[in-house]
Amino acid sequence: MAVIGKIREKSTLVLIIVGVAMLAFLLPSDGIVNLFGGGADNSIGEIGGSEITGQEFNQRLDAAIAVWENQNRTSAPNEVRDQYKEQVWNEIIREVVLESQFNELGIAVTGGELYEMVQGSDAHPQVKQIPIFLDESGAFSPALVRQFLNNLETMPPESKNQWLMLEDGLEEERRATKYNNLLTKGMYATLSVQKRAYNEQNEQRNIKFVAKRYVSVNDSTVQISDEELKAYYNEHKHEFKQDESRDIEYVKFNVEPSEADIAESKAWMEETALDFKETDDDSSFVVYNSEIPLDEGFYSANQMPSGLDSSAFYAETGTVFPVYEEAGSFVVAKLSKVRMVPDSVKARHILLKSTQQPSDTLLMGKMDSLKTVIENGGNFAAIAKETSEDVMSAIEGGDLGWFKEGSMVPSFNDACFYGNAGDLVIVTSRFGVHLIEVQKQAAKSRKVQLALVSRKINPSNETFDEIFAAASSFRTNNATSEAFETATQTEEFTKNIAAEVKVGDKDIAGMAAVREVVRWAYSGNKGDVSEPMQFVNTFIVAHLSEVREEGFATLDQVQIQIELGAKKKKKAAMFMEEMNGVANLDELAGKIGSTVENANNVNFAAYAITGMGQELRVSGIASTLKQGEVSKPIEGQTGVFVIEVAAVTPASAENVDYTAVKAQLMQGYQGSTGQLLEALKESYGVVDKRYKFY
């Protein structure tokens, strides 16, 4: 049975319980994306060997998106869908791996616990926030919860199901909390551990040492065989653990308008300008012919488009100005209207908030009644204080003070600036229904409305065909890694590099929204060169230069690091043989042409040693030597060292307070719980194949 089939009953947790965290280390959850309908292989992944099919995944996402859209009263945009795709996937993983842990450990929630969470005196915060469970004073009422539950069986199926899903969510959250507490309480710093950590941090040792550093011998003089490289790689393979990724090289072929395209666009605009001059319906003409929306605003002289002559502001109504180019488009402007508009306005308003867009007839009726009362002598300020839902202005009797044009939403702005002082008008906005009184207007000045027809200068089909032909020719002539590399070393073609591209990436270095390139990279083999791929006004030809599978990097992939490490190891062996058997530091320094150096206040917990840097092996051995004892040669990170403990200052043993040490240890223990989910995912074997479909 597929994984989602096993957990479907618990899958709605994330859809209903907004803001209830399962665990501190769990990723956030909510999600949505529409997937495919079928196909021969529609598996999008595996968890613990159990398959997650595309159809099952899609059902879960559809349910999630329905809830999101119901809450937000709009269709989910692409950004939300992409976010939800990731979060639903992570939610599935969490439920599978953690559910198994809960069951194995016998973690459960009793009926009594659930009762207390939903209708007890200290109910769950999520339940306390539900409006129908609040009494007249706004306080949570367990009695109202019980009344609701008594009527549950007679409620519509949708309401009943939502409540049951809420209960499931609360139960799962409680189980997760118990699991987290079990982990954190199971890790404790005992007194003996505290004492050891205290001694490691506070015992100080002064040492003398002789060092022979690796930089003293040039790497070029050290010869390493293939067998030595392989041996070093096998010994240090664990250091090169890696996530799955790809390196992509690509050449861009940008599609830009040709001279002929530019001339054609300008000719079209000049012909359109002639028709624009003749029309009496500027708004309809702009809507039909322009690529930018109609702007009905009025502007002062210093707000005119830079492409127009300064005298355009004072032209007659109906004047059509010469075509000009701006931001990659040709534009023709017509002075459509002239108005005398105040620079600022003083007004007050009453707001009735609406949840029905774009209008609410009941609110409009109520506002009409308020307007009638005020027109018949009612006190605007008093009515605003009593009824306005704009709390901040209601305190001041609805007074908004003086404000500039453009500082309010369009409908509100137009009523204030394009009307007259003394107007009492009703307008709607995204906030609700407003009753506005225009109290005062500053001195009026000339402002003009421009009707703009704009057309972007786009490449023609012929230009696209020409650039596509160039990209295709490049791919035909450079379809191998060697040819691609040779071609991109010339000045004719520029190679772009996107390193360590992850399977879920949508963008790569230098280009955004190129998911197709990523999918291609994860479906191909190292050395592949793609056919031209089109993204808006760009074709690219990509080369898959490196493939890294999850696990350990191959020797070839880490050749440079392995060679450097093997040479350092060979130097260490040479130095240790040279330094071995000499127990006197002065004598040893003379033998290897070095000096005796000193480092004070060395302890086991120290990050670095003065004169050495981060040499943890030296720190460890120094903490085990007695005063006056000389070590054997120690292979370090930067060289080989022989040390002697010159003096030891023990940690104080009188009246020691271990509180700070204990807190430090406990903080480290608790932080380790954040790594649990990743450890469980690795143990279960999570396979993500979503890249095949997204």
Q: What is the C-alpha to C-alpha distance for residues 199 and 651, in angstroms, rounded to an integer?
A: 6
Where is pLDDT greater, at 13 or 331? 331
623 and 569 in one domain?
Answer: yes
Average pLDDT over residues 405-428: 92
- Residue 360 has a pLDDT of 64
Q: What is the C-alpha to C-alpha distance for residues 327 and 334, in angstroms, rounded to an integer?
A: 19
Q: Which residues, in sequence order, are CB contacts of 288 under 8 Å at separation 6+? A: none
Report if residue 155 sits inside a domain: yes
pLDDT single digits (tens) 56-78:
888 888 888 887 887 777 888 88
Highest mean pLDDT among 39-43, 215-219, 351-355: 215-219
Q: Which residues, in sequence order, are CB contacts of 147 under 8 Å at separation 6+? A: none
Lowest mean pLDDT among 127-141, 489-503, 523-537, 666-680: 666-680
Report if residue 663 sits inside a domain: no
Report if residue 354 sits inside a domain: yes
- Residue 457 has a pLDDT of 96
pLDDT band of 214, cuts 50, 70, 90: very high
Where is pLDDT greater, at 685 or 470? 470
Report if residue 290 sits inside a domain: yes
Q: Is the pLDDT of residue 200 over 70?
A: yes
Average pLDDT over residues 486-498: 95
Q: Which residues, in sequence order, are CB contacts of 354 under 8 Å at separation 6+? A: 360, 363, 428, 431, 432, 433
pLDDT band of 331, cuts 50, 70, 90: very high
435 and 363 in one domain?
Answer: yes
Report if residue 672 sits inside a domain: no
469 and 330 in one domain?
Answer: no
Q: Are strands 329-342 and 324-326 parallel, antiparallel or unpaired?
A: antiparallel
pLDDT over 70 for what percent of the chain? 93
Q: What is the C-alpha to C-alpha distance for residues 470 and 176, in angstroms, rounded to an integer?
A: 58
Q: Which residues, in sequence order, are CB contacts of 136 under 8 Å at separation 6+? A: none
- Residue 431 has a pLDDT of 86
Q: Is the pLDDT of residue 36 over 60?
A: no
Round the average pLDDT of the chain to a whole number and report it.
87
8 and 125 in one domain?
Answer: yes
Average pLDDT over residues 615-642: 95
Q: Where does a domain end: 341, 374, 399?
A: 341
- Residue 355 has a pLDDT of 53
Q: What is the C-alpha to C-alpha distance for residues 423 and 183, in angstroms, rounded to an integer?
A: 68
**Structural domains in the chain (count):** 5
Lowest mean pLDDT among 31-35, 47-51, 138-142: 31-35
- Residue 180 has a pLDDT of 83
Retrieve residue 159's tokens: 């309401």
Q: Are 552 and 242 in contact (CB under 8 A)?
A: yes
Cis before 358? omega within 30 = yes
Highest mean pLDDT among 124-128, 136-140, 548-552, 641-645: 641-645
420: containing domain = 344-442
268 and 252 in one domain?
Answer: no
Distances (CA, A) of 390 to 351, 353, 403, 413, 422: 6, 8, 17, 17, 21
Q: Are 382 and 400 in contact (CB under 8 A)?
A: no
pLDDT single digits (tens) 347-358:
999 999 865 444
270 and 251 in one domain?
Answer: no
- Which CATH number does the domain housing residue 225 bear? 3.10.50
- Residue 12 has a pLDDT of 33
111 and 34 in one domain?
Answer: yes
Report if residue 671 sits inside a domain: no
Where is pLDDT greater, at 71 or 483? 483
Q: Where does a domain end: 318, 341, 364?
A: 341
170 and 67 in one domain?
Answer: yes
Average pLDDT over residues 382-401: 92
Report if residue 511 sits inside a domain: yes
Query: Within a 10 A sphere around the Cβ of 512, how many other Cβ atoms?
Result: 9
Q: Are 99 and 69 in contact (CB under 8 A)?
A: no
300 and 271 in one domain?
Answer: yes
Q: Is the pLDDT of residue 272 over 90?
A: yes
Average pLDDT over residues 169-189: 85
- Which CATH number does the domain housing residue 405 bear? 3.10.50.40
Q: Where does a domain end: 501, 516, 549?
A: 549
pLDDT single digits (tens) 289-326:
999 888 888 888 888 998 998 899 999 999 999 999 99
pTM attached to this predicted model: 0.63
Quickly tell me which residue has 């402007």 as its tokens. 333
- Residue 362 has a pLDDT of 80
Residue 412: closest CA among 399, 396, 429, 397: 429
Q: What is the C-alpha to C-alpha distance for residues 171 and 22, in angstroms, rounded to an integer?
A: 10
Q: Are 686 and 3 in contact (CB under 8 A)?
A: no
User: In angstroms, what is the C-alpha Rg of the chain?
Assistant: 37
32 and 169 in one domain?
Answer: yes
Torsional sign, CA 93, 94, 95, 96:
positive
169 and 90 in one domain?
Answer: yes
477 and 382 in one domain?
Answer: no
Retrieve residue 79's tokens: 């950004």
Question: Exposure of 402 by Cβ count < 10 A (0-12 exposed, 13-18 middle, 19+ buried)?
Answer: middle
pLDDT single digits (tens) 116-143:
998 888 899 888 888 888 887 888 888 8
pLDDT band of 8, cuts 50, 70, 90: very low
Report if residue 383 sits inside a domain: yes
Q: Is the pLDDT of residue 50 over 90?
A: no
- Residue 59 has a pLDDT of 85
Residue 449: closest CA among 319, 312, 333, 296: 296
Retrieve residue 186's tokens: 């199971």
pLDDT band of 247, cuts 50, 70, 90: very high
